Structure 1
Amino acid sequence: MDTNKIALVTGANKGIGKEIARQLGERGFTVLVGSRDAERGAVAAKELVAEGLDTRVLQLEVTDAASIRTAAGEVEATYGRLDVLVNNAAIIPEGDDGVSSIEAGVLRSAFETNVLGLVAVTQAFLPLLQRAGQARIVNLSTSLASFAQVGDPESRMSTVRTLGYNASKAAVNMVTVMLANELRGTGVLVNAADPGNCATDMGGWSAARTPAQGAAVAVRLAMLPADGPTGYVYAEEGQLPW
Structure 2
Amino acid sequence: MPIPQSITDLNTNPNNNSPQGSEAVGPNANGYIQTLSAFIRQLYDSKVGKGTLDAPKGTRLVLQQASAPTGWTVDTADWLTDCAMRFSPGGNHGGVTAWSAWNFGGTFTTDGRALTPAQMPVHGHGVNDPGHGHQVNDPGHAHGANAWVSDPGHAHGMQKGASDTGAGSFVNSDSRNDAPPGATEVGYTGISVGVSVHGSGTGIWVSGSGTGISIQNSGSGQAHDHTYKTPQVKYADCIVAVKS
Scaled to the shorter chain, the TM-score interval is under 0.3
Which one has the bigger helix percentage? Answer: 1
Structure having greater relative contact order (Cα 8 Å, sep ≥ 6): 2
Over alpha carbons, which structure has the higher Rg?
2
